[in-house]
Structure 1
């Protein structure tokens, strides 16, 4: 078999997509681990010097942003195969409905823009929700450690 056929066979398996997701997510997590550690270290250095709870607010917002971006990246990686299947289904259905090639191309571009816009809106909404949830959780953890250490 040629390399191309082996690649197509491997990429068509669900386990391949799961492994790719895990590799990409682990890479994102490990690369952002330094950011997370530096945020927590910054909070550890600054929560004793400030008499207010602002370092806890800053650190929790930054942690929420990092986890929000991570969740959007993970959701996008999972959504891409589903988006491609939906797009192919729509284009093939239009072709079988008797549309000309030119109109399939034109309407396919419109459908692509609509799908991409909808996916972007959903990703943004879910990423913001995860960011808010993580920021609130981090704030309460930081604020409790701040109030218990003074």
Structure 2
């Protein structure tokens, strides 16, 4: 039984399937969250559409939509970034292989921190960009839909 488990886990197709299932769960829960936020907005905008404060629910919903889409885009980018980070890390460690083991460990830790930090900065920048664009677009869609 352990051999079957080891063989199954070591296959790339298994990891791809696990990623697809995890991403489907993320999308499904995000879709449910977006639908509930949109339902809340529709209830609030129907209560007092002529009020000057009627635009604030649209701002709230737009920012929330932006956050959800930003998180989804960061999750998708992370799926691409992790294998690229691992390949980069392995390449650098192979290039450092001629150094003594103690130096390799110290420099390997330093390089790992640098690669991870660089990748996280890119993920946050891209996710925030997607979130901002989605927030602005969804605000104008919601306000335009009222008119």
Identify the TM-score tier after normalising by the shorter chain. Answer: 0.7 to 0.9
Report deviation, 1:33: 1.9
Structure 1 partner of 2:134 = 134
How far has the Cα of 1:70 moved from its partner? 1.0
For 1:25, the equivalent position in structure 2 comes to 23
Matched, 1:146 2:146: yes
| CA RMSD in angstroms, aligned pairs only | 1.8
Q: Counterpart of 1:77?
A: 79
Structure 2, unaligned runs of 5 or more: none
Q: 2 CA distance for matches of 1:31 and 1:137? A: 22
Instruction: Tell me how far 1:5 sits from its aligned partner.
Output: 4.2
How big is the shift at 1:18? 4.5
Deviations 1:100-125 (A, max 9, x none): 01111100000000011101100000
Q: Once the 2 structures are TM-superposed, how far is the Cα of residue 22 of structure 1 from its aligned partner?
A: 2.6
1:99 counterpart SS class = coil
User: Partner residue of 1:2?
Assistant: 3
Query: Structure 2 CA distance, aligned partners of 1:7 and 1:19?
Result: 11
Please list the CA deviations of residues 25-77 of structure 1 after superposition, one character each: whole Å capped at 9, or x if unmatched: 21101112221111101110111325231111111110010110111111112
In the alignment, is the contact (CA less than 8 A) between 1:94 and 1:104 conserved in 2?
yes
Flag as ranges the 4+ runs of structure 1 deviating above 6 A: none
The count of corresponding residues between Structure 1 and Structure 2 is 141
- Residue 101 of structure 2 is matched in structure 1 by 101
Contact 1:21–1:74, Cα closer than 8 Å, also in 2? no
Asked if 1:41 is matched to 2:10, the reply is: no
Return 5+ residue gaps in structure 1 as ranges. Answer: none
| SS of residue paired to 2:96 | helix
